[in-house]
Structure 1
Amino acid sequence: MGTAGLSRARLDRLHDTMAAHVEHGALPGLVALVGRGTDVHVEALGTMAVGGAEPMRRDTLFRIASMTKPVTAAAAMILVEECRLWLDDPVDPLLPELSGLRVLTRLDAPLDETVPAERPITVRDLLTFRMGTGAVLAPPGRYPIQRALAEAGLAPGAEPPTVGPDEWLRRLGALPLIHQPGTAWMYHTGSDVLGILVERVTGGSLGEFLRERIFEPLGMRDTAFHVPQDRRHRLATSYRADPATGELVPHDDPADSRWGGPPALESGGGGLVSTVDDYLAFCRMMLAKGRHGGGRVLSRPSVELMTSDHLTPEQRSGARVFFGDTRSWGFGVGVTVRRDNLWAVPGRFGWDGGLGTSGYSDPAEDLVGILMTQRLLSSPEPPAHVSDFWTSAYQAIED
């Protein structure tokens, strides 16, 4: 019998399942966490590098990529609660680079075939990814706007931005939107813009605001936009699979990591490094409706708003590659709306990181699951080791 609803015998099954993925070479190592109530179970398996001797540890640092998005959304909601931002106000007074935008007449149109934007972009548009631009889900270079975003260094991907926030936003504002604001869901870019908006409101860096208002209150000592030299030995090597051979090849080495120093742009969409225990603290705060210890990071209404479905059926169907038939989008988080699997519990919320991580919270089961690996994901569809982790986490529920 497990404590707080987790079965010891079934957690052994989780260990065996995840260990098999490491032993078969799908990835060099992983750290997996399942928490239910006060019971927290962690598996640290394999090594920090292919062929390496250093074992994975509970405090290994991972690049959490898009698992940054819920944190950035929480930061924005802190400012909404303080009446320093308003959900339905235009952002262009603070982000003048995004004023007077034009919109393509169609996805494959030339860049000069545009119409005026029917209204400004709002804070709500950034949180819900309906600002009008983002990841174009097509083979690279197919459309003029897709090529322009890539050439400007604005296309979402595994590489962190190489220019600072002012120049990044100037480049974005120089290009047309793909959709009218508020009409369609497009992945990623809204979070990066939201991070810059937080900086403009507060007059400091995004990292400073996150540290002061979220990380320090929650005890998230290892979460930041770069890894200091004295912690670099705890950063796992990042790998991608070679498309031709399937062999794992290095993507980012701790010795000369892109995360080894302060970045040009602290990406609100994908720039953080963290550990399973740090991210657990954030997830538990969200499960507690914003409460932590004897205080609050967010109000209960804010967390409820963040974790509600904000998309129309048409907007959701236009992003089926991300949502399928069971998920939708809140404020910076994916939310489950229909059950078709062990882990697809309505009300469950969280997101995945394209560099190999996954983290979700389930209010109905009082459960948090976090998987951190160093293998890049190759598509929005979860690979076998991610699906098997979530199956194993949910089958371990005792009651």
Structure 2
Amino acid sequence: MLQELLEREVAQGLPGAVAAFGDPTDLEVAVAGERAPGVAMSRDTVFRIASIGKPILAATALVHVERGTVGLDDPVSRWLPELAEPRVLRDSSGPLDDTVPAVRPITVRHLMSFTGGLGMISDFSAPLMASLLGDLHQGPADPLGTPPPDEWLARAARIPLAHQPGEGWTYNTGADVLGVLLARAAGGTLGEVLDDAVLGPLGMSDTAFRATDAMRSRLGDAVMNGPGGLEVVDPADGAFVPPPVFESGAGGLLSTLDDLLRFGGMLRGGGEFDSVRVLGAESVAAMTAVQVPPQPGDVFLDGAAWGYGGAVDVDRAHPWSVPGRYGWVGGSGTALYFYPDTGRVAVWLGQLQLAGPSEFGAIGRFLTAATGEAGAGTKYP
């Protein structure tokens, strides 16, 4: 069924994709299309995974909570003094100089749950959004064009919060702030911190902020629909080959199907995979539980709630919605979901960058199929 779905999508214009879904014992995998002109897609193709790296960042943060490196209720100013005295907009859509002082400090928990106030709002015409997109590069990952972490954080500190810490929900930027915090708290680059806490223990050797020598030949082009058809927005030998200037915890990772299945298997195992414990079961339960209820009218959540690093379905608002389902979608054309009730994991990795909601169709059809019975045959890696 899944192979037929992918082949239909490719026939209708999707350049290529790799996908899988399955329950705790069986997995259905499909591969179709090309990763570059004349180069067939393969199961081990490397993708720009964008926002589905957020659950990996959240898991890394929880590892450091368990280790005592950081505490959920610690003020972030302990490691990020730049954010010791934030200002808050009177109106999230209003001018950036109309602010009041924050009434409480931003905490690690606020960054984890996206309730710290620094982040993207639904009003894309607001001055705040222009500042986030322009000064902080809060659009598609820009590993070479985004300023280095210290300069990036200094810029972030000059941007007011959309709401008081803990009194709202804003998208994306909290993950990048969290990434800078973890690097400072743990003493290393964010890539090193992720590798030590999650990627290394799980054997996710194809997940990184740049294409290693072993990954480079398997990285495809990133493409987008343009006026004349498909356009390459980042070639295989482009922005993800040199060392990144900024390692974005919000969306800067590369990965593969099997690496993400290993991560999903860790969630399914309550923090353990292949006899290796990465997180405690309580941490996984907190990560995949509702930490922030649905925010009416929020364009990003679209009716879902938020956990740590991903959304949590609370009802059957869409054909692909399953109450309790945890995960997220990436703007590069990716999706990663975990279904706690069945242990099922669903991963979609596509080459087509999403220019808007109208291009969610293929992912939506895949996720709808993933709510049904998984195919049999292939075991989890």
Structure 2 match to 1:9: none
Q: Structure 1, unaligned stretches of length 5 or more?
A: 1-12
Structure 1 position 195, deviation (Å): 0.7
CA deviations over 1:204-247 (Å, ceiling 9, x no partner): 111112112211211111100000245322111101122xx372
User: 1:279 aligned to 260, 264, 270, which one?
Assistant: 260
CA distance in 2, matches of 1:218, 1:332: 18
Could you tell me the TM-score, scaled by structure 2's length?
A: 0.93
Letter in 1 for 2:300: F
**Aligned with residue 299 of structure 1, among 280, 301, 321:** 280
RMSD of equivalent CA atoms: 1.9
2:132 is equivalent to residue 155 of structure 1: no
The match for 2:181 among 197, 201, 206 is 197
CA distance in 2, matches of 1:78, 1:391: 32
Q: 1:376 aligns with which of 339, 346, 353?
A: 353
**C-alpha contact 1:322 1:380 (8 A) present in aligned 2:** no
Deviations 1:314-354 (A, max 9, x none): xx2142x23333x2100111111112455422221111111
TM-score, structure 1 length as denominator? 0.89
Contact 1:322 1:381 in 2 (8 A): no
Distance 1:57 1:69, change over 3 A: same
Counterpart in the other structure of 2:301: 323
Question: Structure 2 vs 1, CA of residues 322 and 109 (structure 1 numbering), >3 Å: closer, same or farther?
Answer: closer
C-alpha spacing 1:184/1:223, structure 2 compared with 1 (3 Å): same
Q: From 91, 96, 103, give the equivalent of 1:118.
A: 103
Structure 2, unmatched stretches of 5+, are: 377-381
Q: Secondary structure at the match of 2:28?
A: strand
Q: Of residues 76, 86, 91 in structure 2, which corresponds to 1:106?
A: 91
What do the CA deviations read for 1:24-81 (whole angstroms, capped 9, x no partner)?
21x21110111222322211101112xx221100000000000110011111101111
The residue type paired with residue 297 of structure 1 is: V
| Deviation (angstroms), 1:398 | 7.4
% same residue: 42
How many angstroms does 1:184 deviate by? 1.1
Structure-2 change in CA distance of 1:81 and 1:384 (3 Å): same
The amino acid of 1:147's aligned partner reads: A
Q: Distance in 2 between matches of 1:266 and 1:119?
A: 28
User: 1:131: Cα distance to partner?
Assistant: 0.9
**Kept after mapping to 2: 8 A contact 1:290/1:303:** yes
Provide the rounded CA distance (Å) in 2 between the counterparts of 1:394 and 1:268.
28
1:143 partner amino acid: A
Q: Is contact 1:154–1:172 with CA below 8 Å preserved after alignment? A: no
Q: How far, CA to CA, are the matches of 2:313 and 2:293 in structure 1?
A: 14
Measure, in 2, the Cα distance between the counterparts of 1:354 and 1:380.
10
Partner of 2:231: 249
8 Å CA contact 2:102, 2:165 repeated in 1: yes
Pick aligned residue for 1:351 from 321, 325, 328: 328
**2:115 paired residue among 101, 120, 130:** 130
Cα displacement (A) at 1:365: 1.9
Query: How many pairs does the alignment contain?
Result: 375
